[in-house]
Amino acid sequence: MPSLFTNRQNLLIVSTLILAGCASEPVAVSTPMLSGEKMLSESKDIANLGDRWKKGKQLIDNGNILIREGRNKIEEGNQMVSEGQRIQLESEESYKEIK
């Protein structure tokens, strides 16, 4: 069966295709560019998240302060109740001594 091309012709064709492929401009793989509006929108969203986080932190800090103050008030109240009970007991004992 006769060959359409000879080995030499096949080699010439393959070599030409390889050289043409190497000589052509490389195909650039482009990454999608962000538009200015999208960048601004995303940065505003991130800023809003940061502001919201700060608000949460402030609430936690203020809540902890109130809890600490509340515990101090409870302790102060307990001391007042103890002192009042002691005074009442002493008064009752003094009353019994008088009678």
| pLDDT tens digits for range 75-95 | 999 999 999 999 999 999 999
* Average pLDDT of the residues of the chain: 84
Q: Look at residue 18 and give its three-state secondary structure.
A: helix
* DSSP code of residue 16: H
DSSP designation for 34: P
Long-range pairs, 22-30, Cβ under 8 A, ≥24: none
Q: What are phi and psi of 91, to 5 degrees?
A: -65, -40
- Would you kindly state where each structural domain of the chain is located, as residue ranges? 48-99
C-alpha to C-alpha distance for 16 and 10, rounded to whole angstroms: 10
- Residue 2 pLDDT > 60: no
Q: Which residue has the tokens 């103890």?
A: 82
- Residue 62 CA to residue 47 CA, distance in Å, equals 22
Give the CA distances from residue 40 to residues 34, 37, 44, 78, in Å, rounded to whole numbers and listed in that order. 10, 5, 6, 56
Instruction: Please write the tens of the pLDDT for every residue from 10-32.
Output: 677 777 767 666 666 666 666 66
